[in-house]
Amino acid sequence: MKQPKALALLVLFVTAFSALVFAAANSIDKKTSAIEITFKQEGVPVSAKFNDFSGSIDYDPANIAAAKAQLVVQLTSFDIGDDAYNKEVQKKTWFDTTQFPQATFTSASIKALGADKLQAQGKLVIKGRSQDITVPITLKQNGNIKIFSGSLPIKRLYFNIGDGEWRDTDVLADEVIIKFSIATNTGS
Amino acid sequence: MTMQREKYTATAMLLHWLLALLIISAFFLGLTMTNMPGITPTKLKYFNWHKWLGVTILALAFIRALWRLSHKAPPLPATIPRWQHYVSAATHLALYVLMFAVPLSGYFYSLAAGFKVVYLGLFPLPVLIDPNPTLKPILKATHYWLTMGMAALVVMHVGAALKHHFWDRDTVLLRMLPGRKKLPG
């Protein structure tokens, strides 16, 4: 009885450890990555950023079919540079972070369009609403460091962000542009 | 000897009363919007309108200062003592300075807070400084206290004009009012 249990434990440890190493190899380096949004408020472009996000991008040019990306953004880390506004967007009208603390992107497929141009297709989930999106990506490689960057326009009202009286797009435009620069380090 | 006008020019009157209207509107809109609780679309609209008013005031103040520098003000009535000439000149100079300083401090406060100014929601105005959390509270206080200083001077300015008109019954206020070409004695 004792041996199978120890063996199972060993297998568990090895799997967990290799999963950890594997994840670390392709995981996002938060310090050198950035996710920013820009929107227009009565014609005024306003920017904000997310300070906390995680995920991984597996991308090997030799095996593009296996490429995949997974990104989780902590919506509570929204930072527009003003505490009152940061608190406001946590509310039900906006992100409703008590119910939906995270936004996620999960790729279904990644295509190479050129030497440094990629296209990811997948699901964007915000506030419980899911949308199939196509993201154009520019890839820069610097040794073991890969930087995936691009921008993606989304419609905030599709995700019910800024509900009620905020649905007025004269005050707050429907379009929100997500700009990202995601770095992974395969060397570490 | 050149004839000195008894009254301000029509352009000077127009600029004076237009700016009076815009400044008073911006002042009360500013008080209203900063006392509104929470964050609402109406509040954001008021903030933008306040900024557009400020930019309009700044532009008109520039035109007005140029006009004032190229057109001498009509003389004060002879009955006014010398010391009041100095007080009047100092008040007017301060009001001119504040017509620039108040909107400019507000403009820079908005930029420091990370909100660019887009005039009438159509014309993006120069972004002269980056968002700056250190400067933000300093500029906010500067904008507030310059405004309150200006409000005090405006109250004094209006009070003095009314006192001259109704108490002293002289021509001080009439110089800035359209109407009769000739001023009494």
CB-closest option in B48, B114, B116 to A81 = B114
What kind and span of H or E run contains A112?
strand A102-112
pLDDT one-digit tens code per residue, A79-122: 998 899 999 999 999 999 999 999 999 999 999 998 899 999 99
pLDDT above 70: residue A24: no
Give the CATH number for residue A52.
2.40.128.110
A88 in contact with B, Cβ within 8 Å: yes
Sign of the torsion formed by the C-alpha atoms of B75, B148, B123 and A171:
negative
The confidence score (pLDDT) of residue B179 equals 82
pLDDT one-digit tens code per residue, A112-147: 998 899 999 999 999 999 999 999 999 998 888 999
Task: Write out the residue range of the structural domain in which residue A12 sits.
Answer: 2-185
What kind and span of H or E run contains B61?
helix B41-70
Rama region for A96: left / alpha / beta (φ>0; ψ in -120 to 50; rest):
left
A46 contacts on B by Cβ (under 8 Å): 114-116
Closest CA to A150 of A121, A113, A114, A178: A178
Number of folded domains that form chain A: 1
A47 in contact with B, Cβ within 8 Å: yes
The confidence score (pLDDT) of residue A26 equals 84
Contact B116 A44 (CB under 8 A): yes
Give every residue of chain B whose pLDDT is below 70, as ranges. Answer: 1-5, 180-185
Contact B39 A80 (CB under 8 A): no
Helix (H, G, I), strand (E, B) or coil at B134: coil
Confidence of residue A1 (pLDDT cuts 50, 70, 90): very low
- Beta-sheet strand order (sheet of A102-112): A53-58, A68-74, A102-112, A117-126, A129-142, A145-155, A172-185, A34-41, A44-50, A78-79
A81 contacts on B by Cβ (under 8 Å): 113-114, 131, 133
Predicted ipTM of the assembly: 0.74
- Identify the structural domains of chain B with CATH numbers, from first to last: 10-176 (1.20.950)
pTM: 0.82
